[in-house]
Amino acid sequence: MGHVSAPLLAAHAISLERGGRELFQDLSFEVLPGHLLQIEGPNGAGKTSLIRILAGLSRYGFDGRVSRYTALLYLGHQSGVKALLTPRENLAWHVAGEGQYSDEQIETALAKVGLYGFEDVPSHALSAGQHRRVNLARLYLSQCPLWLLDEPFTAIDKTGVLELEALLVRHVEAGGAVVMTSHQALQVTYEVRYLSLVEGLIL
Amino acid sequence: MSPPGSLQFCVRLLRRQLVLAVRRPIEIGNPLLFFAMVVALFPLGLGPAPDQLAGFAPGILWIIALLSNLLTSDAVFRSDFEDGSLEQLLLAPQPLFISVLAYIGAHWLITGLLLALVSPVFALMLNLPGSAVGTLVLSLLLGSGVLSLVGCIGAALTVGLKRGGMLISLLVLPLYMPVLIFGSAAVKAAVTGAAAGPYLAILGAMLCLAIALSPLAIAAGLRISIDA
């Protein structure tokens, strides 16, 4: 499906050096609709740095260029969930500037991440995993075609991981694209592309 | 669904910031408490001579307003930086210039505006003549807006640092000076019966300039802090 569509994101010859060590060199790739791309590498290989460069959060300190052609959703290590707000408020007033969601949409999204009944509980009463889940509810609400996910499975239980994998597959099947880092292999029937930072190529 | 317009988003952010502030009332109360404590200390240190106090009152009140603003501006972006919300704000499709105005606006509402509104009480404690109280409130309303706008530049630049408090003071204190000079001069003029209008006009002009320029600096500062 991907070969006729325009890319959502393109990296042109990205090189990054940190503390005198070359993390990766001349990395060029395109992310097309339907791509499910997993960035691989051991701790300290530069996975988070790469995904922050792709998102546009790191704008200096690397060589090369990133072209972004679409709205993107980025989920980083920190959840961005305010402890003083309820999950409902966290989503309704989210600082990423997405659309105004109705109460119903938010309740549906929270129910899908297993937070049914927690909509109006202050978030400081929730566990770390539940904080992550509030954040993941954004994936059910978002209209962004491109998702950049940095370790989305952290602190998520087994069934949560399965549901998230199914959601990722639905998103790419619907013409979206996902770029993610994770230490676990995805258990999906969809074709996963791998970008190994150690070998520097897409397998 | 299309993303909200920048003004609509700004209002949403402002509401979010105000709700967050109301749920931590200590942060609203702190500057007021600081103001009250320092005002109560001055008569003890200077001696309880009402005439002498009245002479110093404009300067004292303005210096305390400035310091309480300095103490609180450090925290404007801190919690959003720590929990990752700031990254999300930077990625929002709306222009950062407008979005940061919501943060500044919220900061001004819970520090500057509140201080200006309660300042007549403190003015009374320092024996400031009643005729100058109106000018004091007006000058604080205008001046504290400038202080919030300028203080947020320092906050944006130092939000990534573990101990940014001292650095903020060094960065923004020089920019606070003109506000202090013209603010207290306006009140002094009102005390002596001279026209305070020109001083207030200059404060207003500073406010306009700060509204136009400081969001640019804040947006750039936030991008640098997130990048580092």
- Amino acid identity of residue A130, one-letter, is Q
Query: Which chain B residue has the Cα nearest residue A100?
Result: B4
The correct CATH number of A1-70+145-203 out of 1.10.3720.10, 3.40.50.10440, 3.40.50.300, 3.90.1170.50 is 3.40.50.300
d(CA B122, CA B65): 11
Nearest to A78 among B2, B83, B92 (CB): B83
- Is the pLDDT score of A1 beyond 50? no
Residue A2, pLDDT score: 43
Cβ B84–A76 below 8 Å, yes or no?
A: yes
| Portion 146-165 of A in contact with B at CB < 8 A | none
Q: Does B40 touch chain A (CB under 8 A)?
A: no
Burial B149-160 (b: 16+ CB within 10 A, else e): bbbbbbbbbbbb
Q: Tokens at residue B197, please?
A: 């209008």
Counting every residue, how long is chain B?
A: 228
Q: Which tens digits make up the pLDDT trace of A135-155? A: 999 999 988 999 999 999 888
Residue B20, pLDDT score: 93
Q: Which tens digits make up the pLDDT trace of B144-196? A: 999 999 999 999 999 988 877 788 888 899 999 999 999 999 999 999 989 99
Mean pLDDT of B200-223: 96
Residues 6+ apart with CB under 8 A from A172: A33, A34, A35, A36, A178, A190
Structural domain boundaries in chain B: 6-227
d(CA A69, CA A189): 28
d(CA A164, CA A197): 24
Task: Pick the residue of B87, B159, B222 with the most A CBs within 10 A to test the interface with A by mutation.
Answer: B87
Residue B122, pLDDT score: 92
d(CA A145, CA A33): 8
pLDDT above 90 as % of chain A: 39
Mean pLDDT of B24-37: 91
Distance from CA of A189 to the nearest CA of B (A): 30
Q: At B73, phi and psi to the nearest 5? A: -65, -25
Q: Tokens at residue B215, please?
A: 């969001």
Cβ atoms of A20 and A159 within 8 Å: the answer is: no
Q: For B47-51, B56-60, B119-123, which range has the lowest pLDDT when averaged over its residues? A: B47-51
Residue (of A57, A40, A49, A56) closest to A16 by Cα position: A49
Structural domain boundaries in chain A: 1-70+145-203, 79-143
| ipTM score above 0.85 | yes
Cβ B87–A80 below 8 Å, yes or no?
A: yes
- Please name the residue that has the structure tokens 């059910």: A140
Query: Which chain A residue has the Cα nearest residue B17?
Result: A93
Distance from CA of B98 to the nearest CA of A (A): 12
Cβ atoms of B206 and B178 within 8 Å: the answer is: yes
Nearest to B91 among A58, A74, A93 (CB): A74
- A72-75/A21-31 β-pairing: unpaired
Instruction: State the DSSP code for A156.
Output: -
Q: Residue A12 — pLDDT band, cuts 50, 70, 90?
A: very high
